[in-house]
């Protein structure tokens, strides 16, 4: 309430104090350049929008794809999509959250009304900005300005900033006791990998799995395969430094393609006597997508693409790989319906159903975000 208003009016009313917030943000002005820490203006939330104070945000390879141009987005832009924070203010009509609530922004919204939200098999809400390269809120405008210029949003979240604005369909309330610096990973990396195994592939007990790529998402796939009861989990990466962590989280075997003079899919087929039951590509490269497909059983194997595919690249493959019965699937946000599932995943974390600490390697202030991306690119 703005001030102490004493007025005679014929109906109940309230006056909300919506002001522009000035704060720090990591702005990417153009591709293949470092992030620039700038003072930005964050406009108040409009109807059905929520302004959030970001407490913690993860660095994801998908953000780096925009930096390198592998994913095409408009510039200038504020990236970031894996975060947790506290609601600062809400726009007219918002009912699901209120100021003070702990929340996780959702790059995959859940409007609850579109055909994908209403279908039990779908989770890719039509209100998502994922893959649309829009960079705006649903009304076609932005809530960020810097040095007099409009700054684009990133997949409806933009979390590399002290404050952000999202649509109500792209935020969900979580347990007030949850540690935001941990559960921010449920906003993307953990949920994406864990769900790819449990929701998309539906890994069965006693099965054999291969996981290509051991970043945060790949390690989360390993955790999902273990939770599903897989008897053998083969972790694949060209960085052997990642093998100890993979084994800690459930991998039974770790192999480096550089150690072999034959295609890695042939190695996996030989290791398993015909191929794995489930394979997961968690890198975002077309060559490893084909390798992952070819590494699973030719008749009943299931291969899941989890890594974000590079822009303007196509895959050419032998159709016999699919004709014999293999299933090739994609998985966005682990197949979870976001607003419904994220609070439940946070609750599971609070019950120690799974761990998140091993996925966190460094904690840095926003001003050192470029150092964080350097660590990501070096595989550290």
Active site residues: 60, 62, 65, 81, 188
Alpha carbons 356 and 220: distance in angstroms, whole number: 9
> Can you tell me the distance from the alpha carbon of 79 to that of 197, in angstroms, rounded to the nearest whole number?
27
Question: At 177, phi and psi to the nearest 5?
Answer: -95, -5
To which residue do tokens 């906003």 refer? 187
Classify burial at 273, counting beta carbons within 10 Å of its beta carbon; exposed 0-12, middle 13-18, buried 19 or more: exposed
Tokens of 238: 């060209």
Asked whether the beta carbons of 120 and 111 are under 8 A apart, the reply is no
Q: Which two tokens stand for residue 147?
A: 């040095």
Residue 95: CB atoms within 10 Å: 8
| Phi, psi (deg, nearest 5) at residue 233 | -125, 110
The residues near 3 (Cβ < 8 Å, ≥ 6 apart) are none
Residue 349 makes CB contacts below 8 A (sequence gap 6+) with 178, 182, 183, 186, 356
Alpha-carbon gap, residue 138 to 157, rounded angstroms: 12
Distance between CA atoms of residues 72 and 47, nearest Å? 29
């Amino acid at each position: 309430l703005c001030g102490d208003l004493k007025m005679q009016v014929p109906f109940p009313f309230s006056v909300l104090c919506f002001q522009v917030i000035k704060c720090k943000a990591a702005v990417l002005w153009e591709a293949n350049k470092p992030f620039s820490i700038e003072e930005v203006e964050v406009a108040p939330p409009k109807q059905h929008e929520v302004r959030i104070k970001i407490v913690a945000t993860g660095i994801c390879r998908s953000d780096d794809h925009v930096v390198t141009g592998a994913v095409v987005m408009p510039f200038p832009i504020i990236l970031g999509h894996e975060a947790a924070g506290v609601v600062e203010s809400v726009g007219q009509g918002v009912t699901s959250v209120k100021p003070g609530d702990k929340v996780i922004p959702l790059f995959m919204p859940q409007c609850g009304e579109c055909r994908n939200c209403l279908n039990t098999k779908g989770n890719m809400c039509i209100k998502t900005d994922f893959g649309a390269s829009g960079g705006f809120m649903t009304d076609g405008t932005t809530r960020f300005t810097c040095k007099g210029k409009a700054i684009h949003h990133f997949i409806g979240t933009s979390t590399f900033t002290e404050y952000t604005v999202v649509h109500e369909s792209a935020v969900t309330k979580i347990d007030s006791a949850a540690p935001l610096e941990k559960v921010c990973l449920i906003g993307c990396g953990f949920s994406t990998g864990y769900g790819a195994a449990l929701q998309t592939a539906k890994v069965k007990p006693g099965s054999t799995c291969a996981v290509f790529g051991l970043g945060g998402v790949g390690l989360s796939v390993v955790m999902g395969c273990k939770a599903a009861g897989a008897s053998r989990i083969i972790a694949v990466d060209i960085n052997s430094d990642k093998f100890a962590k993979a084994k800690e989280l459930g991998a039974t075997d770790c192999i480096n393609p550089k150690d072999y003079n034959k295609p890695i899919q042939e190695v996996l087929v030989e290791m398993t006597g015909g191929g794995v039951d489930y394979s997961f590509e968690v890198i975002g490269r077309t060559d490893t997508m084909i390798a992952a497909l070819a590494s699973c059983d030719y008749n009943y194997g299931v291969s899941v693409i989890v890594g974000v595919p590079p822009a303007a690249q196509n895959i050419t493959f032998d159709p016999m790989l699919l004709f014999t019965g293999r299933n090739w699937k994609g998985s966005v946000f682990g197949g979870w319906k976001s607003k419904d599932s994220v609070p439940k995943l946070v609750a599971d974390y609070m019950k120690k159903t799974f761990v998140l600490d091993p996925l966190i390697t460094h904690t840095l202030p926003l001003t050192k975000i470029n150092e964080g991306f350097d660590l990501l690119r070096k595989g550290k």
